[in-house]
Structure 1
Amino acid sequence: MALFADRADAGTQLAASLRAWRGRDAVVLGIPRGGVVVAAVVAAAYGWPLDLVPVRKLGAHGNAELTVGAIAENVRVISERTMRLTGTTPTDLERVEEAERAELARRTAAYPSPGLDLTGRVAIVVDDGVATGSTALAACRAVRGRGASEVILAVPVAPHDWEPDDGVADAFVCPHRPRDFRAVGQFYDRFPQTTDGEVARLLAPGLPT
């Protein structure tokens, strides 16, 4: 059963779960691409500025959809256990990472990020859902490295038993934690691919705060 009509609906539901941070000096950072759509709704709900934190998944050998890790600026998250289970060798990972770093650089250059100063501010990292969690963890570590005083990971849906690693986020906000979890998209009626153009349009009005 779908929990959300689309990413905008997911953003509305997620925003309701973030009332405790109302009035704080916060920045909302979406994970491209779909997470930026959710983040834009959250940011608008409380008048927070919107930014993004580019992250790329690292796919397993022979199955790019199965994530063994993720990369962000100055951050690399790898699941050694998933690498073993999927038979992904260090050489396989190196090849995948080279391609994904090129794509990370392309996206970082393509999006009109305001590059907001996070020093001493609350950073609310938003995605459209968590599956394995690698991208979310990489994003949180990246914004922590930008000087945020508090990192909040906020997603509309995640597996019931998933939690961020200790010290990665100061709080985890997730209104829906289903047990029957196969993929993020199963909880949306409409879950189309978000385009670079959509991300750019959402970010452009917020330059800068």
Structure 2
Amino acid sequence: MVFANRHQAAERLATALASYKGQHPLILAIPRGAVPMGQLLARALEGELDVVLVRKLRAPFNPEFAIGSIDESGWTYVSDYAESVGGTPTYLAQERQVQLDVIKKRRAQYTPLRPPIDPAGRTVIVVDDGLATGATMISALHALRDKKPARLICAVPVAPADTVEKIRPYADEVVCLSTPMSFQAVGLFYTDFPQVDDAEVEAILKQA
């Protein structure tokens, strides 16, 4: 399945999640690409939009490849293959601090006048525009589980089947529209997949 753009992917996710309409779900988007999708989902499901801030830990010499992830509290997930691709303890400590600094900067940018919306007791839907390794989603779900949501859902348009299975223990429900057998990058499953910049994220969150 190839999506025309993030808008179409979000519309299809909204259809798959239609049973949550009327429950005032909290839609938490992983910046930056998923934020426009989260906006559409929040409107379609009559929910509330915010962001969950997590960052991947990048492999040495290959910044697109995740070897782990970190959440806003500093909790870190490290993949079992990290060391085999150069993720030594020293490197991971440095990368962890770099990404934590980015998270702090984004929180100050994105929601400067209010704290994150409390997910306690609520139906929470975490959305991303796709998963490759699933590392950032794992950190997002782990961070949110500690905050005691009533129900925690992962919603993505596309991901490898083995990544979906890796995610399942962290969520009450995983909604994934497509699990292609051949998977190289999320962007290959979109006809139009532009970068989303900080200004667009800030504008969407101000509207929300």
TM-superposed CA distance for 1:173, in Å, is 0.3
TM-score, normalised with respect to structure 2: 0.92
Correspondence for 1:40: 39
Correspondence for 1:130: 131
Q: Deviations over 1:152-179 (max 9, x none)?
A: 0000111123224454100000111111
TM-superposed CA distance for 1:150, in Å, is 1.1
What secondary structure, in the 3-state scheme, does the structure 1 residue paired with 2:26 have? strand
Bigger shift: 18-27 or 68-77? 18-27
Distance in structure 2 (CA, Å) of the matches to 1:197 and 1:189 = 23
Spell out the pairing of 1:18-167 with structure 2 (5 A cutoff): 18-74=17-73, 75-79=75-79, 81-112=80-111, 115-162=116-163, 163-165=165-167, 167=169
Distance in structure 2 (CA, Å) of the matches to 1:177 and 1:90 = 33
- The percentage of aligned residue pairs carrying the same residue is 40
Please, which runs of 5 or more residues in structure 2 have no aligned partner?
none
Q: Deviations over 1:96-135 (max 9, x none)?
A: 1111111111011110266222111011000000100000
TM-score, normalised with respect to structure 1: 0.92
Distance in structure 2 (CA, Å) of the matches to 1:9 and 1:22 = 18
Residue 8 in structure 1 maps to residue 10 in structure 2: no
TM-superposed CA distance for 1:78, in Å, is 0.9
User: For the structure 1 residues 7 and 166, does the alpha-carbon distance in structure 2 shift closer, same or farther, using more than 3 Å as the test?
Assistant: closer
After TM superposition, which residue ranges in structure 1, 4 or more long, deviate above 4 angstroms?
A: none
Number of positions where the alignment pairs a residue of Structure 1 with one of Structure 2: 204
What RMSD over aligned residues (CA atoms) do the two structures have, in Å? 1.5
TM-superposed CA distance for 1:23, in Å, is 2.0
Residue 181 in structure 1 maps to residue 183 in structure 2: yes
Please, which runs of 5 or more residues in structure 1 have no aligned partner?
none
TM-superposed CA distance for 1:204, in Å, is 1.1
Distance in structure 2 (CA, Å) of the matches to 1:60 and 1:28 = 29
